[in-house]
A and B are shown apart, each in its own frame.
Chain A
Amino acid sequence: MRNRLSPLEEAFPKRKRPLLMTGLVVGDPFLEATEDYMRTVVEAGADVVELIMPFSDAAYHGPVLRRACRRAMSEEVSWRELEELIARFREVNGQTPIVVASYYNRIIARGMKRCVEGLREAGADAVVVTDLPDEEAESFRRQVEEHQMVLVQTVAPTTPTRRFRRLASRARGLLLWTGHSGAEVGVEIDEFRQRLKELRQYTELPIVASMNVESGRDAAVVTEAAHGVEVSSSLAWLIEGKGPNIEERLQAFVADLRSSLDAGAGQ
C-alpha cells in the first residue's frame, strides 16, 4: 500500500527537514478561496495539506477553528464538493499529500464506504477523525485501508504509553499529537519534550504536533521535540481577522514557518 504519505514515512527518520502540515477549514470563507489557499500554502512550503470538513459542533477544536467552522457552515460544504475541490487541486498538484479531517458524524451521514471511495477517487491520501477513538475505529479503519488510504492516529497528552504503543504499532504515514490546539493553556514545553522523547522510542513514524503554533519561532521550538508541526488555527485566525490580501499574508506566514523550521533544523 503506497500513497503520497509513503515518501514522508520512508524518508524518515533520516530526514532532517521538519514537516509542515497546514490545516484549512474547507469553505472558510468560501469554497473557491480554499482552493486558492491550498495552492498558496503549498507554494510557501507546506509538506502536507489538511482539509478540515466543517462541523456544526466542532467540540474538540479550539474557539478559532470552531468559529471558522461556523463561517464555513454557510457554504454548506458537501462531501461531493470536497471531492471536487480535491480533484481540481490534483489537476495542478500530483504529489502533496492531502489529509481530510472530519468529525465522525459527518462520515456516518455520508456512509463510511461512500465517503472513503469518494475521497480516494478525488485524490486524498488520509483521513483523521477527530472524535473516533482507536478502540471504536475498527470498521472505519478497514474501509480506509481497503481503499489504500491512511487513517491517521491521534495522540493526546493523556494517552498512556501502553496505549501509544498499540496505536503506533498499526499507525501509518504519521502520528498526530494533539497537544493543545487553540487553547491558551498548555503542557509545559519541558514536559512536552520529555514526553515526545519517550514516545519516539516506540515508533518509526514522524510525530507531527498540533501545538497552537503562532509564529516561525513557535514552530522551531516545537520541532526541537517533534518531527513536524500542524498549523491550522493560526491560519484560520489570519483568514478571519487580518483584513485584505489574505493570500499574500498566508504566503508570508507559511513561508516564515518554513524558513524557521529549516533554520531550526540546521542548528
Chain B
Amino acid sequence: MRRRDQWRRSRLGRPTPLTHLQAWSQQLGGAQLWVKREDLCAGGSFCTTSALTQALLAKKMGKRRLIGETATGDFGVALGTVGTAMGLEVVAFMGRASMQREWLNVTRMRRLGVKVMSVDGPSRGRSHAMAEAMRRFSVGWKDAFYATSSLASPQPYPEIVARALSVIGEECRRQVEAKGLELEYVVAPVGSGSFAAGLFSAFLDEDGPQLVGVQSAGETGGSRHAASLVYGRPGVHQGTHSLVLQDEEGQIIAPHSAAWGLAMSVAGPQHARWLQQGKAHYVTVVDDEAEEARRQLAAAEGIWASPESGYGLAYAVKLAPTLHPDQHVVVGISGAGIRDLDVEEQPSDEERG
C-alpha cells in the first residue's frame, strides 16, 4: 500500500488538482463548476491510475508481462508508462480502426516500449481487441498478467479497477472538504464506467451529492448510441452481469459514440447496482453537445479535455443555469484532449505561412 501511494505521488503526480472554473461558471450563470483534473495525471488520463494498481499486482505475482487492450490508446499509454517503469514487458491489443484514428497514442505507446498488436475484428470497438488480449493471456498466463481497460470485465476485475480508481473520489472528497464546500452534484462520463466509479466511490452516502453518469446518445439521439444504462436490458456481456445494449434475441448491439472511450455496449456492474438502488442516475447527451462543451471549456478556461470528458461537461452546461451561484458541481475530466488533435487539423500551408 505504501509502495502504491509512493508510486502515485512520484510517478503519476497524484493527487490531481480540483480546479474552480470561475470564468466559465460566470458565463453559464448559475452553479459554481469545479473539475477534477485527471488530464493532469501522468499519461494524460485516469487510466494510468488503474494501470498502476494492476501492474503492481502483476509484479507481486511475479509476472514479467502485462497484456491488455486499448480502445483510444490511453490505456495502452498508461500500461506503457507504469509497466516500463517497473521493468515489465507490455503488449497492447488495439483494433485496426482505432490505431488509424488514434495514431498519436500509437506513437506514444511505441516510444514507451509497448508492443502494439493490431486486431482486425469483424466489428469496430474495444470488444475484439479485448477478446484477443484475453486469448493471448489464456495461453501465456504463467508469466503474464491480463490488465483490463474496462470496468465491465470478468470478476475480480470490476473490483480491482474500482478500488484502484477510488483514489480519485477520495482525493476529490478531501479537496472539497478542505475548501469547505458542500456539493450538489458530481458528474462524470460513463462508457464502461471505470472513471465514474472511481469518482463516485467517495460520495455514495445517502446525504451526499447527486451522482450523474453521462452517456453518449450518439450523433442524433436516435437508435445508434452508447447508453447502456439508459436503454440497455439486463444481460451478461464481457463477463459482466449488468445492463447491456442488446436486441430481442440477446445479440449485442454495437455501441456508437464520437468518443471511442465511451463506445461500450455494457457498463460495469457497479453502475447497474447504483442505478437500481437509486444512488446514481444516468443521462445522455448527443455527440455535438459534448464537442461543443469541451470547446467552450477550452475557450473559457484554457483546459482542453478529452472527447469523453465532453459528455460530463455538456450535462454541466445544462445543469449549471438551473442552480444558484452558491451551489457547487464537480465534473470529472477523465483525460487530456491532445490525442484527438487529428491529422486533419494540421495547419494548412497558408496558416503555416
Contacts and interface: CB of A to CB of B under 8 A. Distances in A.
A108 B138 contact: no
Contacts of A157: 138-139, 141
Contact of A185 (B130, B139, B254): B139
Nearest to A55: B251
Contacts of A132: 236
Contacts of A183: 135-136, 138-139
A182 B136 CA distance: 11
Contacts of B252: 55-57, 105
Max chain A Cβ within 10 angstroms of own Cβ: one of B138, B235, B237: B138
A92 interface: no
Interface string B271-286: 0000000000000000
B248 A131 contact: no
A109 B138 contact: no
A73 B134 contact: no
Range of interface residues on A (Cβ < 8 Å): 20 to 34
Nearest to A183: B135
Interface stretch (A14-22, A60-68, A217-225, A235-243): A60-68
Contacts of A158: 138, 141
Given A109-B248, A157-B141, A57 B234 contact: no
A132 B235 CA distance: 12
B137 to A, nearest CB: 9
Nearest to A185: B139
Contact of B236 (A73, A131, A186): A131
A55 B244 CA distance: 14
Contact of B238 (A59, A62, A179): A59
B81 interface: no
Interface in B215-265: 234-239, 241, 244, 246, 248-254, 265
Interface string A83-119: 0000000000000000000011111111000000000
Interface of B: 121-123, 127-128, 130-131, 134-136, 138-141, 154, 234-239, 241, 244, 246, 248-254, 265
Contacts of A169: none
A169 B85 CA distance: 45
Nearest to A58: B131
Contacts of A109: 235, 246, 248-250
B120 to A, nearest CB: 8
Contact of A66 (B121, B140, B234, B248): B121
Contacts of B234: 108
Interface string A127-159: 000011100100000000000000000001110
A76 interface: yes
Contacts of B140: 185
A108 B250 contact: yes
8 contacts: A60-B131, A67-B122, A105-B235, A108-B234, A109-B249, A132-B236, A133-B154, A183-B138
A183 to B, nearest CB: 5
A103 B251 CA distance: 10
- Helix, strand, loop or mixed for chain B's interface? mixed
- Helix, strand, loop or mixed for chain A's interface? loop
A180 interface: yes
Contacts of A67: 122
B145 to A, nearest CB: 12
Interface string A161-185: 0000000000000000001101101
A263 interface: no
A96 B123 CA distance: 36
A78 B139 contact: no
B251 A59 contact: no
Contacts of A60: 131, 134-135
A66 B131 contact: yes
A104 B251 CA distance: 11
The 3 closest A-B pairs by CB, nearest first: A109-B250, A59-B131, A106-B250
Contacts of B139: 157, 179-180, 183, 185-187
Given A55-B251, A156-B138, A157-B139, A105 B246 contact: yes
Contacts of B241: 136
Contacts of B236: 103-105, 108, 131-132
B250 A131 contact: no
Given A57-B237, A110-B250, 15 more contacts: A56-B251, A59-B238, A60-B131, A60-B134, A66-B122, A66-B131, A73-B251, A105-B236, A105-B237, A105-B246, A105-B250, A106-B249, A109-B248, A157-B138, A180-B139
Interface in A30-88: 55-57, 59-60, 62, 66-67, 70, 73, 76, 78
A56 B130 CA distance: 15
A115 to B, nearest CB: 10
A106 B244 CA distance: 12
A56 B255 CA distance: 12
B134 A59 contact: yes
Contacts of B135: 60, 62, 180, 182-183
Contacts of A106: 249-251
A132 B154 CA distance: 10
B250 A107 contact: yes
A180 B138 contact: yes
A241 to B, nearest CB: 15
A19 to B, nearest CB: 23
A70 B254 CA distance: 13
